[in-house]
Amino acid sequence: MDWLGLRRMGQIAAISRSALIEQFGKLGGRLHHLSSGEDTRKIDKYEPPVTQMASRQFDSPVEDRLILESVLAAMSAETHAATDRSTTDLS
């Protein structure tokens, strides 16, 4: 709409609904309703994604890959279980 010099919702609302429909069809009617603050769509509740975090601190550097894989697998299982519990609690 910038190419028409319309930069604010109030400018669109000031144009007659019929003129917008004539220029843009059904979309013009929708533009007029929305720019006038008329919106009958249902608003869905926002539910943020469930996030979990895990960390482990080692006393000294770990050079054995198998130890790291084992710790990572355990942390992953713990995080998965915690996520399952938290999503079940939300139901």
Same domain flag for 26 and 64: no
The answer to whether position 81 is within a domain reads yes
**pTM (whole model) above 0.75:** no
Total count of domains within the chain: 2
- Residue 2's pLDDT band (cuts 50, 70, 90): confident
Range of the domain at 85: 49-91
Same domain flag for 58 and 84: yes
The answer to whether position 43 is within a domain reads no
Q: What is the 3-state secondary structure (H, E, C) of the chain?
A: CHHHCCCCHHHHHHCCHHHHHHHHCHHHHHHHHHHCCCCCCCCCCCCCCCCCCCCCCCCCCCCCHHHHHHHHHHHHHHHHHHHHHHHHHHC
pLDDT tens per residue across span 24-76: 999 999 999 999 999 888 999 998 887 778 889 999 999 999 999 999 999 99
